[in-house]
């Protein structure tokens, strides 16, 4: 059926192409005495095509029900019905894949929780059709943004011996027999393992990204990232996609500017290219979504230091579950209060206390804070995290020693400070957090095709 017409192309036609053929999945069947209507969707766009048949044409067809897969031919004619320009006057119909009333996605309002339990079928629903079309287009936009600016796309490894964020939240990768691991003095001897050392799934491509930035100046990664943190929240997944640009000859201000340009580009791209799907989110998922996105595309992103943010939170007199105190990391509730209540829009929080941030962040002159930045947005909270990197070998070595990171395993990372070191900075944008922001979907499980969260890796 390679010469089939997509429903998207048919619905966009300005004049009737005449006789056409379509394939897709039935959303609903309405049988009348004389005339019957079938709504067919092929995923090419949000809207479905209405097939109009003489009921007698369908009389002998087995398996024609919601969920069935059809191959239809007919004439595309102007539709007398409201809200659709074209409909298909059916000539021939073949049931490629039958369905019956046991099909779980019957035409009614299903809860997102229920749809999560049928993650293998939910792409055929309106909501998830819209989510995953948007996801695909936005992935393309990521590449377009960076490629237009001359960034080199680097595929960093998935299996690695380094825990970039230093929080010990890696999934282990091993071929050792867990019931009989090789032991030396009672401890597992990783030298016997496949890679000859202890390895896991990457938590970030940043460290390798830095190596490439000191050769190509501007690079980005876009790939899956894994975190074994057991936080069962609506914003955390154990497997998620991250975009990590790394730029040489850049400081924290340049980094914030790139992040702002990037986010603005993604929002504008969605508004221009994904209109039909965004209209659906605006009507059914988050009221006022379009207005919010238009406002963001035009907004000035605010900037405050961590120290200022803490002062603002203390001044707010709001009672939080976790008390606000200089030196403690901001919790999700604090982040949301800042972006939703205080700034009512996107805000960069910069210059966090040194001891709550990763070892690679550049020390500020005050010797208390580092050149870090998080971008917070309403509803989602932290969407981007990044920093200027410590480019001085000696200072970096001291920081690693202070955080108990063995330099021996990281000599390759230190080498770029030994030869041809330069100021550089970068950040990570969580792709699913961005999609949550753009769609209004409130649970990260609903913007990734097959979510991996504690206790859940089926499908």
Tell me which residues touch ligand 4AD (CB under 6 A).
164-165, 204, 206, 227, 236-237, 240, 242, 244, 382-387, 426-428, 430, 432-433, 444
**Sole window of 54-62, 298-306, 322-330, 379-387 interacting with Mg ion (rule: CB under 5 A):** 379-387
Question: Which of 77/215 has CB closer to ligand 4AD?
Answer: 215
Residues 135-164 that bind Mg ion (CB under 5 A): none
For ligand 4AD, which is the closer residue by CB, 133 or 357?
357
- Count CB-CB contacts under 10 A for residue 231: 12
Among 200, 378, 381, 385, interactor with Mg ion by CB under 5 A: 385
Question: Helix/strand/coil (H, E, C) string of 107-160?
Answer: CCCCCHHHHHHCCCCHHHCHHHHHHHHHHHHHHHHHHHHHHHCCCEECCCCCEE
CB 91, min distance to ligand 4AD, A: 49
Pick from Mg ion, ligand 4AD, none: which does 427 bind, CB < 5 to 8 A by kind?
A: ligand 4AD
Among ligand 4AD, Mg ion, none, the one that 199 touches (CB under a kind-dependent 5 to 8 A) is none
Judged by CB, which is closer to ligand 4AD: 25, or 241? 241
State the sign of the Cα–Cα–Cα–Cα dihedral 331, 449, 256, 340: negative
Interface stretch with Mg ion, choices 56-64, 104-112, 113-121, 378-386 (CB under 5 A):
378-386
Query: Between residues 163 and 193, which has the closer beta carbon with respect to ligand 4AD?
Result: 163
- Per-residue DSSP letters for 364-410? PTTSSBBSEEEEEETTTEEEEEEEEB---HHHHHHHHHHTT--GGGG
Q: For residues 348 and 427, which CB has a smaller minimum distance to ligand 4AD in the complex?
A: 427
Q: At what angle do helices 431-439 and 275-284 cross, to 10 degrees?
A: 70
| Whole-angstrom distance, CA of residue 204 vs CA of residue 220 | 12
Cβ-closest residue to Mg ion? Answer: 385
User: Least distance from C-beta 330 to Mg ion, angstroms?
Assistant: 10
Phi, psi angles (nearest 5°) of residue 188: -60, 130
Nearer to ligand 4AD, 31 or 217 (CB): 217
Is residue 175 within 8 A of residue 194, CB to CB? The reply is yes
- Collapsing DSSP states into helix, strand and coil, what is residue 312? helix
What is the closest distance, in whole angstroms, from the C-beta atom of residue 424 to Mg ion in the complex?
A: 18
What letter does residue 254 receive in the DSSP assignment?
A: H
Residue 68's binding partner, choosing from ligand 4AD, Mg ion, none, with beta-carbon cut-off 5 to 8 A by kind? none
Q: At what angle do helices 275-284 and 126-148 cross, to 10 degrees?
A: 130
Tell me whether residue 7 or residue 376 sits nearer to Mg ion (CB atom).
Answer: 376
Q: Are 281 and 331 in contact (CB under 8 A)?
A: no
Number of residues that bind Mg ion (CB under 5 A): 1
Min dist CB 386 to Mg ion, Å, is 8
Bridge-based pairing of strands 69-78 and 19-31 is: antiparallel
Give 63's DSSP letter. T
70 contact, one of ligand 4AD, Mg ion, none, CB 5-8 Å limit per kind? none
d(CA 389, CA 386): 9
Tell me whether residue 261 or residue 329 sits nearer to Mg ion (CB atom): 329
CB of 279 to ligand 4AD, least distance (A): 26
Binding-site partner at residue 437 among ligand 4AD, Mg ion, none, CB < 5 to 8 Å by type: none
Toward Mg ion, which CB reaches closer, 287 or 355? Answer: 355
Contacted entry of Mg ion, ligand 4AD, none for residue 227, CB cut-off 5 to 8 Å set by kind: ligand 4AD
Token pair 């949000």 is found at: 46
| Number of other CB atoms surrounding residue 228 within 10 Å | 15
Provide the binding-site residues for Mg ion, judged by CB under 5 A.
385
């Amino acid at each position: 059926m390679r010469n089939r017409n997509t429903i998207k192309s048919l619905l966009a036609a300005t004049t009737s192409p005449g006789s056409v053929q379509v394939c897709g999945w039935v959303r609903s069947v309405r049988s009348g005495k004389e005339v019957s209507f079938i709504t067919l969707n092929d995923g090419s766009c949000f809207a479905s095509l209405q097939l109009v048949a003489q009921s007698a044409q369908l009389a002998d067809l087995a398996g024609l029900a919601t969920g069935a897969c059809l191959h239809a031919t007919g004439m595309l004619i102007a539709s007398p019905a409201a809200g659709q320009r074209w409909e298909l006057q059916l000539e021939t119909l073949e049931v490629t894949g039958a369905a019956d009333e046991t099909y779980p996605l019957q035409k009614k309002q299903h809860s997102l929780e229920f749809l999560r339990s049928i993650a293998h079928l939910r792409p055929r629903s309106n909501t998830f059709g819209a989510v995953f079309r948007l996801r695909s287009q936005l992935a393309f936009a990521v590449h377009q943004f960076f490629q237009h600016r001359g960034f080199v796309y680097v595929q960093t490894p998935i299996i690695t011996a380094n825990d970039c964020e230093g929080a010990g939240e890696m999934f282990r990768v091993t071929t050792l027999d867990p019931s009989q691991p090789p032991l030396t003095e009672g401890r597992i001897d990783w030298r016997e393992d496949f890679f000859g050392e202890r390895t896991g799934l990457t938590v970030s491509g940043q460290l390798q990204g830095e190596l490439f930035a000191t050769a190509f100046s501007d690079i980005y990664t876009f790939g899956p990232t894994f975190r074994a943190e057991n936080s069962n929240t609506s914003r955390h997944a154990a497997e998620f996609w991250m975009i990590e640009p790394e730029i040489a000859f850049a400081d924290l201000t340049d980094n914030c500017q790139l992040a702002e340009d990037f986010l603005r580009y993604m929002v504008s791209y969605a508004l221009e290219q994904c209109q039909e799907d965004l209209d659906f989110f605006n009507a059914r998922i988050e009221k006022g979504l379009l207005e919010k996105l238009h406002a963001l595309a035009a907004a000035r992103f605010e900037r405050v230091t961590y120290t200022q943010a803490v002062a603002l939170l203390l001044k707010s007199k709001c009672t939080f579950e976790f008390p606000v105190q200089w030196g403690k990391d901001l919790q999700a509730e604090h982040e949301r209060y800042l972006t939703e209540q205080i700034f009512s829009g996107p805000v960069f929080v910069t210059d966090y206390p040194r001891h709550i941030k990763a070892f690679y962040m550049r020390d500020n002159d005050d010797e208390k804070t580092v050149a870090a930045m998080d971008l917070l947005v309403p509803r989602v909270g932290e969407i981007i995290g990044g920093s200027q990197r410590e480019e001085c070998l000696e200072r970096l070595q001291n920081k690693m020693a202070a955080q108990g990171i063995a330099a021996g395993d990281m000599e390759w990372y230190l080498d770029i400070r030994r030869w041809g070191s330069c100021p550089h900075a970068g950040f990570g944008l969580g792709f699913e957090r961005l999609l949550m922001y753009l769609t209004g979907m409130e649970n990260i499980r609903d913007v990734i095709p097959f979510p991996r969260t504690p206790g859940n890796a089926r499908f």
